Amino acid sequence: MLLSRHTRRRAFITLLGGAAAWPLAARAQSERVRRIGVLFPVSAEDDQEYNARLAALVQALRDLGWSEGRGLQLDIRRSKPAAADLRKHIAELLAAAPDVILTSGGTTTAPLLQATRSVPIVFTSVVDPVGAGFVKRLSRPGGNATGFMQFEYSLSGKWVELLKQIAPGMMHAAVIRDPSITSGIGQFAVIQSVASTVGVEVVPIDGRDAGEIERGVDDVTRTPNGGLIVTTSAAVNARRDLIISLAGRHRLPVVYPRRIYVDRGGLLSYGPDVVTASRQAAGYVDRILKGEKPADLPVQTPTKYETVINLKTAKALGLKVPDKLLARADEVIE
């Protein structure tokens, strides 16, 4: 949805404490108005994670001397992760001739790169940018896109290990993933390889369809000692509340890829700090606006991963969280 200029201005002035607080560094920027397009796939209007990431981006740009109305124009769009919606927003973004576009994940990065090979693109939360064809190599991307990886595939194996720690009796688990994208295939492959080493059998569930998710979770519960692993993608994230609800209804132990699931009642998550990635992305936007090329800016891996546990949910599931796991958690929700 494209916010009106008036609505965006009012929201950001509230967020950043008013135009009077903007630093004098903004005035030192070129008098030319620079245009930044922002395109995130969002599943709900009240998406807390989206709001936090956007706030972090705007604050980081402000700290670097860029603020709307003082040398900068923001075109912020939140799109459903559906092809038709994405094409519409991308066409409108490009028609405005942006200096750089910031986006999130393969769901939006792929169609953006199909639409333009000249406008600089900074992505966040992409799992495998080389395998997906977004960049030639991590050290020197070589094209018009660069950014920040969400994680390396090896992290997916950690989800199996954590789930086994919090539910030692688990013998089989369903894996909710998007089979239509390379990262969905890659995450499942790593999970499958690690699961076999700890005595857990895994089966995939297509995370693009609500009916498939419900049927898959029902299948898991027909046999005792089951669990659930949720991988990351825009399509799966769009079913976030459904997955959390099904897990609670069937009393299933579940590990999630991001803390937003645990904030909303999920059991356990392990993954990167996506808000930090948004702050870092602002730095690349700044460098591109000052003349550097995406081709020369290396793709960066996360600097921070976090484990979050919801003790209230664990208690409802009848699970005792091991002291060792509690001790290494970055946050425990009680």
Per-residue pLDDT of 260-308, as tens digits, reads 999 999 999 999 988 999 999 999 999 999 999 999 999 999 888 999 9
pLDDT number for residue 43: 66
DSSP-based three-state secondary structure for 232: coil
Site of tokens 């720690």: 165
Higher pLDDT, 26 or 221: 221
| pLDDT reading at 12 higher than 60 | no
Higher pLDDT, 23 or 123: 123
- Euclidean distance between CA atoms 119 and 121, whole angstroms: 6
pLDDT number for residue 26: 44
- Euclidean distance between CA atoms 309 and 294, whole angstroms: 37
Supply 234's token pair.
């825009």
DSSP codes joined into one string, 140-165: ---SSEEEEES--TTHHHHHHHHHHH
Question: pTM surpassing 0.75?
Answer: yes
Stretch 197-210: mean pLDDT, rounded?
A: 94
pLDDT confidence bin for 4, thresholds 50/70/90: very low
Stretch 314-325: mean pLDDT, rounded?
A: 94
DSSP codes joined into one string, 254-269: EEESSHHHHHTT-SEE
105's torsion region: left (phi>0), alpha (psi -120 to 50) or beta? left
225's torsion region: left (phi>0), alpha (psi -120 to 50) or beta? left
Please name which of 178, 130, 120, 128 lies closest in space to residue 149, comparing C-alpha atoms: 128
pLDDT number for residue 206: 96
Higher pLDDT, 46 or 198: 198
Higher pLDDT, 156 or 48: 156
pLDDT number for residue 3: 47
* pLDDT (tens digit per residue) in 209-265: 999 999 999 999 999 999 999 999 888 988 999 999 999 999 999 999 999 999 999
Q: Which domains does the chain have, with CATH numbers?
A: 5-150+273-304 (3.40.50.2300), 155-272+306-333 (3.40.50.2300)
- Euclidean distance between CA atoms 1 and 301, whole angstroms: 30
Contact criterion met (CB below 8 Å) for 104 and 80: no
Find the helix packing angle between 182-197 and 155-166, rounded to 10°.
50
| pLDDT reading at 116 higher than 70 | yes
* pLDDT (tens digit per residue) in 137-179: 999 999 999 999 988 888 999 999 999 999 999 999 999 999 9
Q: Which residues contact 64 (CB under 8 A, 6 or more apart)?
A: 25, 282, 283, 286
pLDDT confidence bin for 22, thresholds 50/70/90: very low
Residue 104's CB: how many other CB atoms inside 10 A? 27
- Euclidean distance between CA atoms 322 and 56, whole angstroms: 34
* pLDDT (tens digit per residue) in 63-91: 999 988 888 999 999 888 788 999 999 99
